């Protein structure tokens, strides 16, 4: 297997394609400028992309983001599929997603971007004997599509149940591809789930289930027996579904998940959490603010964002290093050892929690 590369490697956009009727999800096909072969990655992993985003009256801003690969390992080019992030309807003054809108509006065929090598702990297991359950909410379909494509290629006899949740058919990404794959592979059981179907959509024709891809739906529709669950979606979905699977009796080792958006999944109590006072001070040195940590947040990044502080971030899973921050004083602890090892004296706020009063250079 070819080794991954260090640092940023230049890739050229060779094709763009919209994946949904609403044209809110655009795929970017990327080939290395150096024309050298791509290393294999694990289906479900992401790449980290570096973008130079223009800022009026200033130098371009370097923006780093992580996007799941929606192609399968072994392809001659990478594919990422990016949903345009707009301001929430309830918060129209919130700025739209900087990176996604730049990609949609300005990164055309021929553009060159910098990529870090694929990484991430969310990837498919090789045990073909366990039926596979993929549960996607919205753009969470992207890593699961990579898993599906790999599985159909390498484990064609494996039973797969794929639940694809979207608000309506206009926002369902990859529907033609998924339906084609299901027609070719009788062991692939596909279910489209609509939380707010359009008036011209008919259940049983345009989609299979109304509501959400939640534990109740899985309990009603999955056959009895052990399954390996892979779940990816927005935080609200994940914070319901993952604990729901555990409460159903699914072994924690059979539940694999990745959330996207500005929150982490609280699947249960933090193991080996240090005993802290009722509240401790967290000082963000660069912004000159000191805030009281009361333990309600899963990590320091969530804590900062809840209090209106911006910190650079990418994967939000301790894998890319985008949020690496210098510790001025104090200690940070991790529930699990992050895949990315921060430099001595630095921490990863996206997965770190304070072990004492803390001063961060942020």
pLDDT tens profile 265-277: 655 544 445 556 6
Task: Give me the residue label for tokens 């609280």.
Answer: 266
Q: Cα angle at 121 between 318 and 261, to 5 degrees?
A: 60
pTM strictly above 0.95: no
- What end-to-end distance do the CA atoms of the chain give, in Å? 39
Strand partners, 132: 160, 228
What band does 312 get if pLDDT is binned at 50, 70 and 90? confident
Which of 1-5, 106-110, 200-204, 242-246 comes out lowest in average pLDDT?
1-5
Q: Cα angle at 141 between 44 and 64, to 5 degrees?
A: 65
pLDDT tens profile 218-248: 999 999 999 999 999 988 898 899 999 999 9
DSSP β-ladder status, 228-234 and 78-83? unpaired
Q: What domains are there in the chain, each with its CATH number?
A: 9-119 (2.40.30.10), 132-260 (3.40.50.80), 280-360 (3.10.20.30)
Token digits for 286?
């660069």
Is the backbone of residue 308 left (phi > 0), alpha (psi -120 to 50) or beta? left
């Amino acid at each position: 297997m070819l080794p991954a590369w260090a640092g940023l490697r230049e890739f050229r956009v060779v094709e763009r394609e919209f994946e949904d009727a609403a044209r809110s999800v655009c795929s970017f096909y990327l080939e290395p400028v150096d024309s050298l072969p791509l290393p294999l990655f694990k289906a479900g992993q992401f790449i980290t992309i570096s973008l130079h985003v223009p800022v009026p009256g200033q130098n371009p801003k370097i923006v780093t983001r992580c996007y799941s690969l929606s192609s399968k390992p072994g392809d001659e080019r990478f594919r990422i599929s990016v949903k345009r992030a707009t301001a929430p309807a309830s918060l129209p003054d919130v700025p739209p997603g900087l990176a996604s809108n730049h990609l949609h509006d300005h990164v055309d065929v021929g553009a060159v971007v910098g990529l870090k090598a694929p990484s991430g702990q969310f990837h498919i297991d090789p045990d073909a004997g366990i039926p596979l359950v993929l549960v996607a909410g919205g753009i969470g379909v992207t890593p699961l599509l990579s898993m599906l494509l790999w599985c159909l290629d390498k484990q064609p006899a494996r039973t797969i149940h794929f639940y694809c949740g979207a608000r309506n058919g206009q926002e369902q990404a990859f529907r033609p591809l998924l339906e084609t794959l299901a027609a070719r592979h009788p062991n692939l059981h596909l279910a489209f789930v609509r939380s707010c179907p359009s008036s011209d959509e008919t259940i049983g024709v345009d989609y299979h289930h109304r509501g959400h891809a939640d534990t109740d739906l899985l309990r009603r529709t999955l056959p009895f027996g052990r399954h390996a669950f892979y779940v990816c979606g927005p935080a609200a979905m994940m914070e319901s579904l993952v604990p729901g699977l555990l409460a159903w009796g699914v072994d924690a080792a059979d539940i694999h998940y990745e959330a996207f958006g500005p929150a982490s999944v609280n699947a249960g109590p933090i193991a080996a959490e240090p005993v802290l006072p009722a509240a401790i001070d967290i000082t963000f040195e660069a912004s000159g603010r000191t805030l009281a940590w009361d333990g309600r947040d899963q990590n320091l990044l969530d804590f900062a964002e809840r209090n209106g502080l911006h910190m650079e971030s990418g994967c939000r899973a301790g894998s890319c290093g985008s949020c690496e921050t210098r510790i001025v004083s104090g200690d940070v602890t991790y529930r699990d050892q992050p895949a990315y090892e921060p430099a001595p004296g630095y921490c990863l706020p996206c997965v770190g929690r304070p072990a004492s009063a803390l001063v961060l250079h942020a």
